[in-house]
């Protein structure tokens, strides 16, 4: 049957040894081998942005990344955003400002937004739109997402864990 590999993945700061078929993408390893179903998938072909996760702080699409290429790298998923029961400012702003409707694109949006805020804690509206342009949403029309990302940015900034602080979590 499938050719299996065993590798160690660091997901949300936790090191996990995983045996998995060599042809699996990071998406399959996250959702199926690690049961981290917070990362969703909308096309499996790199066309919609739904499965965005962070690898070494950069947003990538889990459906296009060979899992074997990701071994040893620092992977961050939506499950790693909150600190225990305390929501990340992005999560709080998304929740309160209508940025999640059906919620299916939300994990990917959050991860793209986190990468943006790590570089630029006070993005303009245009900067948010450009940085998130690879993440499709069919519900919101995007406006409330833009507002939530910017609000989270200012919250992070006033908390004194702006660009630098956010990056250090990566």
Q: Where in 20-39 is the site for other proteins (CB under 8 A)?
A: 21-25, 27-28, 31, 35-39
Q: Determine the straight-line distance between the first and last CA of the chain, rounded to whole angstroms.
A: 36
Q: Tokens representing 94?
A: 């998304």
Is 151 an interacting residue with respect to other proteins (CB under 8 A)?
A: no
As measured in angstroms, the least distance from the Cβ of 168 to other proteins is 19
Instruction: Determine the Cα–Cα distance for residues 153 and 142; give it in Å rounded to an integer.
Output: 17
Closer of 104 and 167 to other proteins (Cβ): 104
- Residues 56-115, interacting with other proteins (CB under 8 A): 58-61, 63-66, 68-69, 77-79, 81-82, 87, 90-92, 94-98, 100-107, 110, 112
Fill in the per-residue mask, 39 to 58: x = in contact with other proteins (CB under 8 A), - = not in contact.
Answer: xxxxxxxxxxxx-x-----x
Q: How many CB atoms lie within 10 A of CB 13?
A: 10
The nearest distance, CB 101 to other proteins, in angstroms, is: 4
CB of 41 to other proteins, least distance (A): 7
Alpha-carbon distances, residue 35 vs 8, 31, 57, 124, 144 (angstroms) = 15, 5, 22, 36, 30
Tell me which residues in 111-150 interact with other proteins (CB under 8 A): 112, 128-146
The answer to the question of residue 12 lying near other proteins (CB under 8 A) is no
- Which of residues 19 and 35 has its CB atom nearest to other proteins in the complex? 35
Binding of other proteins at residue 3 (CB under 8 A)?
yes
Contact 116, 77 (CB under 8 A): no
User: Cα–Cα distances in Å, from 99 out to 9, 37, 64, 113?
Assistant: 31, 20, 26, 12
To the nearest whole angstrom, how small is the minimum distance from the Cβ of residue 98 to other proteins? 4
Query: CA 109 to CA 134: how far, in whole Å?
Result: 9
């Amino acid at each position: 049957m499938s050719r299996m590999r065993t590798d160690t993945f660091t997901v949300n700061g936790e090191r996990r040894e995983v045996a998995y078929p060599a042809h699996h993408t990071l998406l399959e390893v996250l959702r199926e081998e690690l049961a981290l179903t917070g990362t969703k998938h909308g096309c499996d072909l790199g066309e919609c942005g739904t499965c965005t996760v962070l690898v070494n702080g950069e947003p990538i699409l889990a459906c296009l990344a060979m899992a074997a290429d990701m071994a040893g790298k620092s992977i961050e998923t939506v499950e790693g955003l909150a600190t225990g029961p305390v929501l990340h400012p992005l999560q709080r702003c998304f929740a309160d400002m209508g940025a999640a409707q059906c919620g299916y694109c939300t994990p990917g949006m959050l991860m793209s937004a986190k990468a943006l805020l790590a570089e630029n804690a006070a993005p303009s509206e245009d900067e948010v739109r450009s940085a998130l342009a690879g993440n499709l949403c069919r519900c919101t029309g995007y406006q409330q997402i833009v507002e939530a990302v910017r609000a989270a940015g200012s919250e992070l900034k006033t908390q004194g864990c702006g660009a630098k602080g956010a990056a250090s979590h990566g």
